[in-house]
């Protein structure tokens, strides 16, 4: 969901704008779900050839296709931020969004629960800092407490594995506003993970559009279907700073 939906001043107009954005997002989600259903029907023989070279060589708009112009597994941005919408959380009465901030090089990922008022001002309700470099997770409430726990699984890598299965290409939008997307399926079965991941990315820049994850991670089960909006690679360093309140707190 896009937080600009809350910027109109009067309550009635805010509600109308929110409903409009809600319907647009539901249409977008419907397109993504249709794309995933279509991709599942594609034969598993559409597997990609093993790539040569390092994973880092796949980053960028010119690295999403091989020499024969076939789609190839690619790398999501190593550092980005996005509004992450989950299907069960859609409502025309909620003004809350989930924001994900990710920095692979420093092995840290942050999930923030954010509320927006009618003037567009945000308020962070709570945050989860996952420090995969030191394998510690911090549950932080701004102005309040911080609780820590030990992480027992590895961070999801930005680059798809070389044996990822290509499930097909489609587009979202219409006419001159089409966005071409590729769908991939692969597994992560190391670092205390047993996951099957189906991901939809833009065909030119490998920007994530939608992601479906099932399986086990750590000691828990994973079942999520999300899509990404407001994706940006321009993320301030301060976003990834762990609050001082959390320093010295022992893992529970």
Angle at alpha carbon of residue 210, lines to 209 and 213, rounded to 5°: 150
Tell me the domain boundaries of the chain: 3-246
Radius of gyration of the chain (CA): 19
Q: Which residues of 76-89 are buried (b: 16+ CB within 10 A; e: fewer)?
A: bbbbbbbbbbeeee
Lowest mean pLDDT among 15-29, 85-99, 173-187, 225-239: 15-29
Contact between 235 and 101 under an 8 Å Cβ cutoff? The reply is yes
The span from the CA of 84 to the CA of 82, in Å, is: 6
The span from the CA of 117 to the CA of 100, in Å, is: 20
Lowest mean pLDDT among 34-38, 108-112, 157-161, 212-216: 34-38
- Of 41 and 80, the one with more pLDDT: 80
Whether residue 67 has pLDDT greater than 70: no
**What is the assigned CATH class of domain 3-246?**
mainly beta
User: What is the total residue count of the chain?
Assistant: 252
pLDDT in tens, 3-15: 222 222 223 332 2
């Amino acid at each position: 969901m896009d937080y600009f939906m809350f910027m109109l001043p009067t309550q009635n107009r805010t509600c109308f704008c929110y409903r409009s954005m809600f319907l647009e997002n539901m249409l977008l989600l419907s397109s993504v779900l249709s794309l995933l259903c279509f991709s599942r029907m594609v034969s598993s023989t559409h597997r990609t050839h093993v790539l040569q070279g390092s994973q880092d060589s796949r980053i960028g708009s010119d690295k999403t296709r091989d020499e024969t112009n076939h789609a190839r597994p690619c790398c999501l941005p190593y550092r980005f931020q996005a509004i992450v919408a989950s299907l069960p959380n859609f409502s025309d009465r909620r003004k809350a969004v989930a924001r994900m901030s990710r920095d692979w090089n420093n092995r840290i990922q942050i999930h923030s629960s954010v509320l927006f008022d009618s003037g567009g001002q945000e308020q962070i309700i709570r945050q989860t800092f996952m420090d995969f470099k030191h394998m510690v997770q911090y549950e932080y409430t701004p102005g309040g407490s911080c609780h820590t726990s030990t992480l027992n699984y590895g961070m999801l890598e930005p680059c798809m594995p070389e044996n990822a299965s290509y499930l097909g290409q489609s587009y979202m939008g219409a006419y001159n506003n089409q966005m071409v997307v590729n769908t991939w399926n692969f597994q992560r079965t190391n670092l205390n993970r047993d996951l099957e991941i189906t991901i939809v990315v833009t065909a030119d820049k490998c920007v994530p559009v939608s992601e479906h994850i099932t399986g086990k991670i750590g000691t828990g089960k994973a079942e999520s279907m999300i899509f990404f909006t407001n994706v940006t690679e321009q993320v301030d360093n301060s976003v990834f700073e762990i609050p001082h309140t959390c320093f010295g707190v022992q893992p529970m």
